[in-house]
Each structure stands twice: as structure tokens, then as C-alpha cells.
Amino acid sequence: MFDVIHPLLGELGAGLSAVVPYAAGASPVVLAGWLGWTVHRARRARAALADHVTVELVPTSTFDPSEAEVARWARQLGQVHHAAGGVPARGSAVRLRYTAETGKMRCYLEGPRTAQAVLAMPGFAEVEVRAQEDRTSIRPVRFPAPEGPA
């Protein structure tokens, strides 16, 4: 059994001795490339986290969503990462924040500024979305009413 393994190890050692100098020369280049890419992604994520937008969600007194509405809104929030334009996942996260101010509970949705249009879209029929800052650069999406018999 050992006489079969020993020649294979001898051939492997000869192949490795030919490859080692090239691998040793290429490894610093690969390491520098990986390090540069990691730093670039960390900077993009940090910039996205520093520049985020907040919208307030104001439900009506009769707000009672169905499971289908909640699932649709969850899918809509899942699109924020794609709308964020190449921002790493860590920087394109959406945060749902609740606060209590003067006895009133408020709900805020926070996310990257590059996905502001998706965050400002209403997710429920009985919830008003209020931007915390000027929304002049955002144009609302309007869908035409279907024509023909309903």
C-alpha cells in the first residue's frame, strides 16, 4: 500500500516545488487586492450609514392590515437593498424605529438616501408616509387607472 502512495507524494512534491515561487510572488498581490476591496466596501457602507433618510409612518385609527398587505410591504422593503445602488448590505439596511413623544407613539422608517423613493412609497392603504425633510427631488409614482369594465 505504501509503495503506491509514495510515488504519488514524490510527484506532488516535485510539482509543488515548481509552483511555490510563483505562489509566493502572487500572494502579496492577491492580499493587497482583497484588502483594497474590503476597505472600499467598508467606506461605502459607512458613507451610506452616515447619509440616511427617515420617513414617518402615520396609520389611521381604523388601520388593521391583512397578512397579504404585510407580506407585500415586506417584499417592498426587501427591494431597498437593490434600490440602494451597489451599497453593501450592511449599509443598505432598513430600520423600523418606534418612539414615544408626549404620550404619542410614532413609527419611523430609516434607510439609505439612495433608496429614498422606495422608502417613501406607501406600503399600506391606511398609512400616510411623511418625509422628515424636503422631498422635491422625489417624484411620486402614479399608475393610470385601468381602462374598460372592472
Per residue in 5-56, pLDDT (tens digit) is 566 666 777 777 777 777 778 888 888 999 999 998 888 888 888 888 888 8
| pLDDT at residue 35, rounded to an integer | 93
Question: What is the distance between the alpha carbons of residues 148 and 117, in angstroms, rounded to a whole number?
Answer: 30
Q: Is the pLDDT higher at 13 or at 129?
A: 129
CA distance 121 to 75: 12
The residue-averaged pLDDT of 76-88 equals: 83
Domain 51-131 sits in CATH at 3.30.70
